[in-house]
Amino acid sequence: MQQRIIIDICHAIKLEVKNGLIIIFDVSSMVEKFVRRNSHFSATEVKEAEKQLQRSQDQLSTSEEIARQLRMKEEDFTEALNAKDSQLAVLRVRMQESDQELRSKQQQIEEYQLERERSDNKKIQLNPNFSNLQGERKIV
């Protein structure tokens, strides 16, 4: 019965580790107090309980290390993501500026083309041979 209690304690510790609920407490002193109170356990039972306790502590230690490594990776990924977000924001601003500049240049080109057409129309009206001269320039 008492051995079952020790085993249950070890299983509870394993369950806590498996569920990620790492509770910091001194299990070994708890088991020692229990063993002292129930000293009629055989040496074999005590050794088996200590082995189970050691395995549970090892699993807890391993789980804590894995959790620490995962937290570090998460922090690294979050930092990298924030850097990418900043870069993306800068690129969006640059793209908006480039789009605005492109629209401005296109508008200037349209204005120059209209001005050129008006100028050509005035020249044609003033000199009917102008259109022939332009046609000759294009051929050459």
- Three-state secondary structure of 22-45: CCCCCHHHHHHHHHHHCCCCCHHH
Amino acid letter for position 36? R
Is 52:7 a contact under the CB 8 Å cutoff? yes
Could you report the per-residue pLDDT of 55-70, keeping only the tens digit for each?
A: 888 888 898 999 999 9
User: What's the rounded mean pLDDT across residues 64-82?
Assistant: 91
User: What band does 45 get if pLDDT is binned at 50, 70 and 90?
Assistant: confident
Q: What whole-number distance in Å separates Cα of residue 52 and Cα of residue 46?
A: 10
Q: Return left, alpha or beta for 21; rule: phi > 0 is left, psi -120 to 50 is alpha, else beta.
A: beta
Q: Return left, alpha or beta for 137; rule: phi > 0 is left, psi -120 to 50 is alpha, else beta.
A: alpha
pTM: 0.45
Considering only residues 48 and 105, tell me which one the structure prediction assigns the higher pLDDT.
Answer: 105
Residue environment code for 79-95, b if the CB has 16+ CB neighbours within 10 A, otherwise e: eeeeeeeeeeeeeeeee
Give the model's pLDDT for residue 135. 53
22, pLDDT greater than 50: no
HSE at residue 106, side-chain half, CA atoms within 13 A, is 6
